[in-house]
Structure 1
Amino acid sequence: MDAPKCIEYAFPGAPKTVAPYPILLTAHAKYEYFEKQQGFAFSSILKNPMMLMMIFSVGLMFVMPMMMDNLDPEDKERMQKQMEMQSDPQKMLSELMGGLTGAPAQAPVKKASGKSRKSRRD
């Protein structure tokens, strides 16, 4: 069997020449299958959204007491009153409803002792 006839045609319009047999092909570049692993960077930890929220929260924990010291006594008293209202939800809702309807705040009702109550069976 004769060797195949190979004609080299480098680009359109180039002269046709006989190519040597066997044809040798060479790669132009080495193919990279994997990306190189990045090194450790402390800034990448700080750019994490979870870390940003944590740093912000810790910062507020240190700044808020300093801000509270600079408040007027009247403002401090008002904030303490609001905090008391938040600790008792029923009291907070009653004041909210009273504020919406324009009704005055009710005085606390005293509970009757158990001895003066009449039983239903009598």
Structure 2
Amino acid sequence: MKITQILLSAQSPYGNVRTAAEESLRQFQEQNLPIFLLLLSVELLNDEKAPECRRLARIILKNLLDAKDSARKELLIQHWVAIDGTLRSQIKDLLLRTLRSSVHEARHTSSQVIAKIVSIEIPHKSGLNSLDAYSPT
């Protein structure tokens, strides 16, 4: 099942469809977090995707990079830092490209997610070379 369909199904009014989709999202996140983050970033970038898919992708992305609970937040930071640098760069590139979206919500969320990534990478000095991509051109 494609990520778009899973995101749509996760918002279904039918409990059984929604529950199955939520479980698929949870399993995908647990089994391959880096690819899951990449696909959510692709979903957020694509202006042709349904707004409700992009909205849920935004929420999930933000929740996978930050938390109010300090223990959970530290775990999320460790997960991000452990992702291969090339893949992290691809995710960041997609988020930067989303800043050009015609959809205000997508641009806003992308900037929030970028800020969360920067707040992780600067103190941990991970991906600093790829932070050059955040400089205005």
The alignment's TM-score, normalised by the length of structure 1, stands at 0.24
Structure in which a larger fraction of residues adopt helix:
2
The alignment's TM-score, normalised by the length of structure 2, stands at 0.22
